[in-house]
């Protein structure tokens, strides 16, 4: 998973965090430094360099992190992107960096290595990106070369306080699946293998990603396969 933390980077570091605009992140902290246009343009090449290193190290897939209020998520959200250059304004411009990065990574990834995007399609905030707009961006990323879309939240992060239960981002993933044309992964507090199978069997998503449960219980996947 390749990511740029952007405004979510630790403020304890010597360099101040950067973002698309000098707008405070909803999660708090001082306003980031607005990136200069040449620095934004250079990001696609830097992600491609990172992907090249990952392939050389033997990874089978590259996931571009564009969710959870990290840098790419902030570029996509109108709440944090107030730019007036080619990377700000309407949804197409706010998604331009995403498209450039996917194309650059796709160009250096060959063979059986997949390119995925973890996309925050819903800020869950007034004035932020919503599911319809997020799904349209997902379709653009597929056209740019993404092999799968891993659907999560945008500025609201990976575990919004107002959402609960298992698969709480699955409804957003369903909307993306209707337009993506590639496998779509659902996420959100899934801890039970039967729930994961049900989401897939019902045709709502093509796969389920499990994170915290595996961190807490490393044998979860083995036990889930045993009950299949």
pLDDT at 227: 64
Which residues, 6 or more positions from 158, have their beta carbon under 8 angstroms from its beta carbon? 67, 68, 152, 187
C-alpha–C-alpha distance, residues 105 and 27, integer Å: 29
pLDDT in tens, the chain (228 residues): 999 999 998 877 677 899 999 999 888 888 999 999 999 999 999 999 999 999 999 999 999 999 999 999 999 999 999 999 999 999 999 999 999 999 999 999 988 899 999 999 999 999 999 999 999 999 999 999 999 999 999 999 888 888 889 999 999 999 999 999 999 999 999 999 999 999 999 999 999 999 888 889 999 888 888 764
Query: Rounded CA gap, 34 and 198, in Å?
Result: 44
Cα Rg, the chain, nearest whole Å: 17
Measured between alpha carbons, how far is 169 from 171 in angstroms, rounded to an integer?
6
Would you list the DSSP string of 44-101?
HHHHHHHHHHHHHHT-SEEEEEE-TTSHHHHHH-TTT----STTSSSHHHHTHHHHHH
d(CA 95, CA 29): 24
pLDDT of amino acid 158: 87
The distance in angstroms from the start CA to the end CA of the chain is: 28
Identify which of 101, 113, 108 has the alpha carbon closest to the alpha carbon of residue 2: 101
Identify the CA nearest to 75 among candidates 10, 141, 120: 120
């Amino acid at each position: 998973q390749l990511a740029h933390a952007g405004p979510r980077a630790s403020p304890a570091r010597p360099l101040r965090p950067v973002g698309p605009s000098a707008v405070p992140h909803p999660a708090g902290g001082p306003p980031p430094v607005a990136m200069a246009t040449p620095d934004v343009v250079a990001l696609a090449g830097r992600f491609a360099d990172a992907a090249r290193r990952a392939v050389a190290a033997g990874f089978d897939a590259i996931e571009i992190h564009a969710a959870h209020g990290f840098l790419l998520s902030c570029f996509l959200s109108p709440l944090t992107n107030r730019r007036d250059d080619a990377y700000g304004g309407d949804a197409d411009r706010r998604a331009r960096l995403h498209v450039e990065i996917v194309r650059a990574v796709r160009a250096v990834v060959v063979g059986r290595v997949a390119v995925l995007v973890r996309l925050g399609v819903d800020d869950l905030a007034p004035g932020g990106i919503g599911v319809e707009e997020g799904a349209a961006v997902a379709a653009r990323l597929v056209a740019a070369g993404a092999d799968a879309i891993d659907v999560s939240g945008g500025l609201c992060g990976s575990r919004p306080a107002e959402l609960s239960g298992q698969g709480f981002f699955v409804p957003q993933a369903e909307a993306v699946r209707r337009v993506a044309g590639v496998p779509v992964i659902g996420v959100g507090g899934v801890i039970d293998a039967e729930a994961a199978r049900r989401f897939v069997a019902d045709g709502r998503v093509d796969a389920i990603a499990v994170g915290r449960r595996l961190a807490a219980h490393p044998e979860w996947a083995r036990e889930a396969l045993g009950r299949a």
